[in-house]
A and B are shown apart, each in its own frame.
Chain A
Amino acid sequence: MKEIVPDKQGMVLVTLFVVGNTLVFALGGRAGPDIWLAFLVAIAVTAPFILIFARLTSLMHGKTFADGVEMLFGKWPSRAVALLYTGYAWRLGCLVVSHVTHFIQAVSLPTTPQTVMSLAFGVLVIWIVKGGIEVLARFSSVMSRVVLTVLFSAFALLINRVDLGQFLPVMYNGFGPVMEGALQLLDFPFMETVLLFWIFDGFKKKDSAYRVFVPGFLVGALILLIMDCTSLAVLGADRYGIFYFPIYTSIARIDVSTFLTRLEAIVAVTFAVGSFVKIAVCLLAASKTLAYALGFDDYRFLVTPLVLGTIPGSRWFIATSMEIEASATKTISASTFLYQLVFPISFWILAEIRMYLRKGNKAGKQTDV
């Protein structure tokens, strides 16, 4: 049975996915004081791709993404592509689990084994992924109010510590660091949104994909831009790049008359909520693509083994905090290139060609893929 998500809930899900586990890391740190420019470049580069993905989903209206890909490539090639995305989604889920467990261990529970924390997350993820995309979208809709309230309260309380001189001089080292910062942001988290296209079964209207993905991405990117720029202006450009968790550190500096302090714990909770949503999306995508690749209609029976696999997987891909920092701030990788750019663009080009040919056959009548 197809699960249809209302546009507003879908949009919030996209926003929480983008903000997700990225909130505490030194995003775009290589740009230094020009981080705001790196964000703008990354948003400007990603936006056309989001539009392309939305157009692709719109062309496949009435079908799941997997069914649409099957119409483009045929049965077996599309199953092979789905299997590749299973690996990508599962690996990304492992990385997010690793990020969140390392973060919790570093800031609050140093003697608790990471396996215990990942197991706790795993149980909740099994529950929500088996519930389906509708439950996940509703959960995102409820929790987004908490996350946004906490983040904007923290931002408001930090304003008196902001030093705008930290952003000067503009482009002192040229455009190179800006591009490196933008590439960091493209890799993690902006282009990871490609996974979301596999989890939605469909939308109410043909243009719903635009209403879900474009504002969802822009709001998420804007939240990250505001929080990271504020953090850099509080800590300074040099320190922003060397801290593992610069936003957490900058929020720890909030002190309202020694009465309101230690607010970083609340931000840690929002990080955990965002990470939970991102892990759930990754595992939902992994389950759905694997079920499609193996020829099953229902994906729910695959959820438990895939989620349990992320617990050892999170320790397999990343073992130390230094590796976490490296994975969160790398610029580009082959998987990024292939899964986030090559495949989606080839899907889109094929879909446009197919629609053009159909249009010709039906004398200009508007059709879907």
Chain B
Amino acid sequence: MMIALILVSFIAVGTVDIWRWPRRPWQKVAVYLVLMAAAAALSILILTVDDLPVPNVLGPLDELLGELWPGGETK
């Protein structure tokens, strides 16, 4: 039920937002739709997956700094 509500909300907001643009070049519309889909997907994942892992691309550097200064780790 919540997933459907999230999807409907994102579709409604996206439709109204695009409708209000003065011009709608396809490049902008495509980027907008991809970002809205990503935001909706993240919302659904947060709702359905407990403790969703956060990617840390700078992990090794974080570990090194954490050893140098204890308490420097980030989630």
Q: Name A residues whose Cβ lies closer than 8 Å to a Cβ of B.
A: 30, 180, 183, 294, 296, 301-302, 304-306, 308-309, 311-313, 315-319, 323, 326-327, 330-335, 337-338
Contacts of A302 in B (CB 8 A): 31-32, 35
Contacts of B65 in A (CB 8 A): 332-334, 337
Contacts of A323 in B (CB 8 A): 75
- Decide yes or no whether B8 CB sits under 8 A from chain A: no
Contacts of B38 in A (CB 8 A): 305, 309
Residues of B in contact, count (CB < 8 Å): 31
Contacts of A315 in B (CB 8 A): 46
- Decide yes or no whether B13 CB sits under 8 A from chain A: yes
Contacts of A30 in B (CB 8 A): 71
Q: Which residue of A lies closest to B46 (CB)?
A: A312
Complex Cα gap A338–B32 (Å): 29
Complex Cα gap A332–B27 (Å): 39
20 A-B contacts (beta carbon < 8 Å): A294-B31, A296-B28, A301-B21, A301-B32, A302-B32, A308-B36, A309-B35, A312-B39, A315-B46, A323-B75, A327-B74, A330-B72, A330-B74, A331-B69, A332-B65, A333-B58, A333-B65, A334-B62, A335-B74, A338-B61
- A317–B54 CB distance below 8 A: yes
Most buried by A among B45, B59, B73, B75: B75
Chain A interface SS verdict (over half): helix
Complex Cα gap A61–B75 (Å): 38
- B13–A308 CB distance below 8 A: yes
Within the complex, which residue of B13, B54, B69 is in contact with A304, where a contact is CB–CB below 8 Å? B13
Contacts of A304 in B (CB 8 A): 13-14, 17, 32, 36
Complex Cα gap A341–B31 (Å): 31
Contacts of B3 in A (CB 8 A): none
- B71–A313 CB distance below 8 A: no
- A183–B69 CB distance below 8 A: yes
Within the complex, which residue of A296, A305, A312, A332 is in contact with B69, where a contact is CB–CB below 8 Å? A332
Contacts of B54 in A (CB 8 A): 316-317
